[in-house]
Structure 1
Amino acid sequence: MYEEDKVPDEHFSTLLDYLEGLKGSARELTVQKAEALMQKLDEASPETRDRSLGKMQRLRQVLQLLS
C-alpha cells in the first residue's frame, strides 16, 4: 500500500478510509509493520531515503490515522 505504482495516488485516500475502520489486532499489526518500515527507512542511506520520499509520506499518513 505504500508503493505508488501498486496503489496510485487517486486510490490512496480510499485505502485510508478503509484502514480507518480497522480494529483490534489488524489495526495493531498494521501500525507495527508501518513503524518497522519507517524505522528501516530512517536508518537507510540518504540515497535510499531520497528515493523513498513518497513511501515515507504514505507511512506517516497511515501512522497518523491509526495511532
Structure 2
Amino acid sequence: MTTPESRRQEEQALESGEVYQDAEGRRTTDPGTAAAHAHSEADRNAEHLKRGEVGPGTPEK
C-alpha cells in the first residue's frame, strides 16, 4: 500500500525530472533509457496507425 507521503515523493520526482515515466508506466532515472522507451512507443504507435487502428476517443473516418 502506498502512503500519501511516498506518493508525494514519487510525484515530485516525476515533476522535477529526476524520474521519467512513459505511457505504459515504465519508470527510469536514466535519460537515455527514457528516450529509448519514447522511441519504441512512437514506433509502435506508427505501426498501429499504418494498420488503420484508432484509439479510444479518436473518431473513425
- Bin of the TM-score, shorter chain as denominator length: 0.3 to 0.5
- TM-score (ref. length: structure 2): 0.40
Larger Rg belongs to: 2
Structure of higher RCO (CA pairs closer than 8 Å, 6+ residues apart) = 1
- TM-score (ref. length: structure 1): 0.37
Q: Which has the higher helix share?
A: 1
